[in-house]
Amino acid sequence: MSTIRKMSNVAVAVQSALGAAKTITAISKAAPGVVTATHDFSNGDFVVLSVQGMWQVNDRVFRVCNVSTTVSFQLEDISGGTGIDTSAFDTFSSGTAKKITFGTSITTMADVQMSGGEFDKLDTTVIHSNVKTNIPGTANPFAIDFEHLWDVTDTGQAAMKVASDAQSKLAFKFTFGVGGTIMVFNGYVGHSALPTASALQVIKTKSSISAEGAPSYYSS
């Protein structure tokens, strides 16, 4: 039976710093795929990739594993300790990796709604059939809508407001319970900090994230 989880004791961290870009010279198409780059990453670091060619990893956040001195590293898969299988990915041409510091916590989140990821349906019906057929096309963007307890002095909300005003991307890290599943992703933030409430109700504010690339998941 699957593990049943409740939306409680969820830690949310947001990017507080982004390291210098480390040039990637290759990502192998293998199981596991190896990223070749002169770097100073350690096992367990989180990085965001900006990649041409191998679009499956572009703009995504990954956890580093199996570091080989300063020469190479792998992008950890969900099982932990093993690099992801890049065998079926497109061919890498160029790119960079930047280390993420998740130094700011968001502690005012009251509601989270996630959507997206559904595929467009491409019509493949032929005139010889009396039943429509289709194949999956491009996936819709992954999006998150938040509702916060309104507090303009909160460091997490302030970080989102700065990113929103600059129309810049931020990385986020959700940890579902102590030692629980981790979800990381990167995206554009929309946060106006406008308060909203009915009479005598708690004042709240809304924000949204339009993710760039798919989220990555880790079992702990």
Q: What is the per-residue pLDDT across 78-87, written as a single tens digit (0 to 9) for each?
A: 987 899 999 9
Alpha helices by DSSP H, the chain: 155-166
Distance between first and last Cα of the chain: 19
203 and 154 Cβ atoms separated by less than 8 Å: no
pLDDT bin (cut points 50, 70, 90) of residue 1 is: low
CA geometry: angle 29, 35, 39, nearest 5 deg: 170
Tokens of 199: 């009479």
Q: What is the per-residue pLDDT across 181-219, written as a single tens digit (0 to 9) for each?
A: 999 999 999 999 999 999 999 999 999 999 988 899 998
Task: Report pTM.
Answer: 0.91
